[in-house]
Structure formats: structure tokens, C-alpha cells
Amino acid sequence: MDLNILWFILVAVLFIGFFILEGFDYGVGILLPIMGKTDTERRVVINTVGPVWDGNEVWVLTAGGAIFAAFPHWYATLFSGFYLALFLMLVALIIRAVAFEYRSKAEDPKWRAWWDRGIVFGSLIPAILWGVALGNMLRGVPIDADMHYVGTFFDLLNPYAIIGGLTSLSMFLLHGAIFLNLKTSGELSERALHLTRRIGPVTTVMVAIFIVSTYLMTDSFSRLGVNPGPIPIASLGALFAAAYFVHIGRLGWAFLMTSVNIGLSVITIFMALFPRVMVSSLDPAWSLTIYNASSSPKTLTIMSIVALIFIPIVLAYQTWTYWVFRHRISIESELTY
């Protein structure tokens, strides 16, 4: 296989893993004040993701490193053009990480309340901005012939990108609500199920709007790229399947379906982009592709060997982590602890 295509696929796979795993992290963080009415309940909610949230973020770090090494021009244009948005996301993620670590350092309710707000803020902002970023990559941003972003921060706040941000937010909220149902018990589990049933229809509508908007507001399915065919429809169908499994009380299958929905959504976006990685709204000929934005063949070859060795190790370790922390968490266990 062409190594440029291989690394484009690998970057897509890394983002699929990141959005599936970190997606429920974001959802849990945003739902924290709704799910947790008392300090003990909030501790339970936080501890559902406590052992895994930082490991989940490794996926996006790896994806960023892969883009930097395999497609340096993509990395340079993306990070310079989206600088303010990515800086805001980084600040939010730092606040979130610090909040997870420092929340329990003091018994003062005000102390914990402020760190809880930090968790909500640090989960909400990335959940929106990832959708905004992907939306802009699909729709196109001002990129000149030298691969330089020549727009402003406000160029990124267009209707299509905002729809993308609201869609990613709703998807992660649903994913997180179902995860909380699986990881908690008693009243908390029932509360998560109630939230799941309220969020599900909103998410389905937002995904449908995003699909229609992609057809109407981008050139993804009419010009360059690969026609995704039934994949966007299958993504929407996965949400209907999730609703069915929620209705019959099979939340494990519902979580699998929201994971499928997220995965197929990312596949749709990358297939719609291919062979581009960023679309120029000034001139389609100035778009960045997997060829004009890539590293040398030698670099891609070395990276492929390294990836072949280390990715299975990372996958094995993370699988083991999830297996160790697979049990439900209850209020009683937190009080005992």
C-alpha cells in the first residue's frame, strides 16, 4: 500500500480510538453536576473515569505526533491556523487535568465546587471545539498557495463548524450518559438512564442535521475524495440501534452502538476529505493533500516500522487497564473507602 494512504488511515484510526474513549470522558465530565447531587455522588461519577481518562488522552497525543511526523505541512497549517482555538482547548484540558488531581486535596466544599466547575469546563470546551475543528477541515478554511492559513479566528466560527461542534457535544453527552449507566449502580444508574433517554433524541437530530449540512455546505461528496456511500446513514442507524437497546435495557449493546456511531462519523469525515487533509476555501488547488503535505518516503517507512512494534503494546496495556477497572462503582463503596 502507498505509505501516504497508510498513514492517512492510521491517523483516522487514532482519532477514532480517541473520540470513542475520550468521548465518554468528556460526557461524564459535563454531566458531573447533573449526575452528582452530593459530594459522594460526584466522587462516584469522577471515579468512573478516574483510572482511565489520562490514558485515553494518549490517543490524541499519538495522533498529533503522527501528523507531525507523517504530514508536517498539515501539522504546521493546522496548528498555526487554529492556534487560538487549540490554545483554548489546551487551557481547558490543563484545567481539567488539574481538577481531577486536586479536587480531593481538601475537604472544603467550596474548594471541591470550584474544581468540579473546572472538570465541567475542561470537558465542555474540547467536546465542542473538536467538532468545530473537523467541520472547518471539511468545509474549508483560507489557505494560500504556500500552505499558509490567512484567515482569522472568527473565520472558524461559521454555521457549518458550529453545527459540527454541537453535534460532537451531543454525541459525547450520550456516550458518557450510557457509560455512567454501565459503571454505576442504584440511584445513580437510574439517573444516568433517565439522562440517556433525554439526550438520545437530541443527538439523533444533530447527527442528521450534520449529515445533511455536509451534503449541502461542503464539496465533500461531489468533488474530490471517496464517496462514503452508506457509511453516514449507517452512523445514523447506529443511533437508532442504541435507542432500541436502551429501550430493552441492554445498555452494553447501546454503548457499543454509540461507539460505532462515533467511529463511522470519523470514517465519514476522513473519507470525505481523502486525498485532502485540509481544504482551501480560496482555491481547491491549494488544498493540502496526503501527498503535498507529507514527509519523505524514508520517514514514512521508519515510522511504519516503529508503529508496527509499539501500537500493539499500547493496545494491550490499555485493554488490560480497562479489564482491571471493569467493575461498577457504588455510593456504598465510596463511603466505605
What the chain holds in terms of domains, given with CATH numbers, is: 3-336 (1.20.1630.10)
pLDDT of res. 332: 66
Cβ-based neighbour number of residue 159 at 10 Å: 11
pLDDT of res. 337: 37
Full-prediction pTM beyond 0.85? yes
Q: 103: which 3 cell numbers?
A: 479536587
pLDDT of res. 172: 97
Length of the chain: 337
Q: 300: which 3 cell numbers?
A: 514514512
pLDDT of res. 288: 94
Residue with cell 449526575: 35
Q: Which tens digits make up the pLDDT trace of 282-315? A: 998 999 999 999 999 999 999 999 888 888 888 8
Tell me which H or E stretch contains 278: strand 276-278
pLDDT of res. 236: 87
For every residue of 136-180, DSSP letters joined together read HHHH-B-B-TTS-B-S-GGGG--HHHHHHHHHHHHHHHHHHHHHH
Hey, what amino acid is at 182?
L
Handedness of CA 277, 7, 75, 73 (dihedral sign): negative
Low-confidence ranges of the chain (pLDDT < 50): 224-225, 335-337
Alpha-helical (H) ranges within the chain are 3-35, 39-49, 53-56, 58-70, 72-81, 83-102, 109-139, 159-183, 186-217, 231-247, 251-273, 297-324, 331-336
